[in-house]
């Protein structure tokens, strides 16, 4: 009988210790195992929280954001808490678009046609954020027609065919 190996010595195909996670393939964001805990965030001396991420090319970036924005991003599972002063975005822009499009099966949320863009349910111009909870797949026509209107206002105009709205 062989002695147990340290995790870094285990070979492929061998069972891992309970609670151990397999690393995600490159390009796939790791979703949190626990429910979000935005109350754990504390601002730095500047009054802000550090946010880190990666660009589409893989280059690392960081910026400081307001505490409330950081809490919204964690709550809506667009970011995870690294430490009480830092969050990490889960998606690059390209990964985020792919995630939304696949989640919604490339179908427009508004009209049911093929979707090729993403749209914010609560527009960014009115305080909406780019999070999975606030973004949906949309066709170009609906996305352009909706612009920065509220969903309820836009949906009421969908009673008329698209040609009449343009």
Domains by residue range for the chain, with CATH: 35-90 (no CATH), 93-161 (1.10.30.50)
Neighbours of 51 (CB within 10 A): 19
pLDDT of residue 24: 43
Closest by CA to 78, choosing from 92, 61, 98, 57, is: 92
- Can you point out the beta strands (E) in 11-146? 48-54, 60-66, 79-83, 86-89, 117-120, 135-138
Using a pLDDT cut of 70, give the percent of the chain over it: 75
Residue 10 has pLDDT above 60, yes or no: no
To the question of pTM greater than 0.75 for the whole model, the response is no
CA angle 5, 16, 29 (to 5 degrees): 130
Average pLDDT over residues 108-130: 95
């Amino acid at each position: 009988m062989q002695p147990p190996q340290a995790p870094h010595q285990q070979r492929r195909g061998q069972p891992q210790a309970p609670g151990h996670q397999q690393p995600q393939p490159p390009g796939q964001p790791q979703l949190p195992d626990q429910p979000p805990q935005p109350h754990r965030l504390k601002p730095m001396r500047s009054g802000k929280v550090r946010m880190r991420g990666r660009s589409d090319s893989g280059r690392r970036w960081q910026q400081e954001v307001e505490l409330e924005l950081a809490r919204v991003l964690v709550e809506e599972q667009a970011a995870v808490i690294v430490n009480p002063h830092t969050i990490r975005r889960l998606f690059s822009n390209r990964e985020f678009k792919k995630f939304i499009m696949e989640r919604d099966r490339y179908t427009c949320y508004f009209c049911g046609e093929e979707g090729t863009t993403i749209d914010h349910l609560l527009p960014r111009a009115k305080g909406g954020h780019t999070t999975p909870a606030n973004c949906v797949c949309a066709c170009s026509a609906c996305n352009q027609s909706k612009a920065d209107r509220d969903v309820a206002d836009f949906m009421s105009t969908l009673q008329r065919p698209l040609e009449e709205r343009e």
